Structure 1
């Protein structure tokens, strides 16, 4: 049985930017035995120690702007991308660091959920909630495929 980690990230105090947290928390309630979840505001190098122990890592975040036309599931390859900020990383950079430090490279996907309202406040708009439910079902399906 493959071990699956779902990392929901973003800022729940900015409405739809909290969709990653929402998805991870809902999956935790509905999950089967091979799924673990984690919620963070941003991806940082300290996550490598956790990521190395999983076969599949699913990153869940809000998709912003014109491209927010539907749920996207995107494969992620380990690739370091330089940044001026050492405490914020892309999923690809996090995987590259995990590979460099631990010689482990789990399969990884980004599940990008459309977001429409990024104003200050709590809770998701109705449209983002609809897409979040689709994301939850897709991630649970991916997990079942790996049992």
Structure 2
């Protein structure tokens, strides 16, 4: 596969909300450009336009899911970019409109339970980070498709 980008996002000063950044910083795949950001911004569209595959990594509450999830993503312009932040689907739609290209994309969602002020991940989040790294490696190296 050609250019691959992994974008982990979330607030690393709000405990488990920093899961996405932790995964991005933990990835050690030579063929993947890994970015850790606080939020998805329109400026990321240029990076996505040059990618063949994009993987977004974010946290969710354990009440939403107790397992690491991998979902395919498609551009969706119905989610308007408000202010300077976006969600993965609206960012992909912006990339398509501005650059006429949008990469194949996956969303890796990792459960967390502690979103209070702090810089440490809960045990469930730490476990989720390890699982997410494995799943991303499978997507990148083996082309494994999740649904």
The TM-score range, normalised by the shorter chain, is over 0.9
* Equivalent residue runs for 1:68-147 within 5 Å: 68-83=65-80, 85-146=82-143
The reply on whether 1:24 has 2:21 as its aligned counterpart is: no
**Corresponding residue of 2:11:** 11
Question: d(CA) in 1 for partners of 2:79 and 2:95?
Answer: 15
TM-score by length of 1: 0.92
Q: CA deviation at 1:123?
A: 1.4
**Corresponding residue of 1:2:** 2
Is contact 2:73-2:106 (8 Å) kept? yes
TM-score by length of 2: 0.92
Count residues in correspondence: 143
Q: CA deviation at 1:64?
A: 1.8
Is contact 2:42-2:94 (8 Å) kept? yes
Greater fraction helix? 1
Question: d(CA) in 1 for partners of 2:138 and 2:56?
Answer: 15
| CA RMSD, Structure 1 to Structure 2 (Å) | 1.3
- Pair 82,127 (structure 1): closer, same or farther in 2 beyond 3 Å: closer
Question: d(CA) in 1 for partners of 2:78 and 2:61?
Answer: 20
Is contact 2:7-2:55 (8 Å) kept? yes
Gaps of 5+ in 2: none
Moved more, 56-65 or 89-98: 56-65
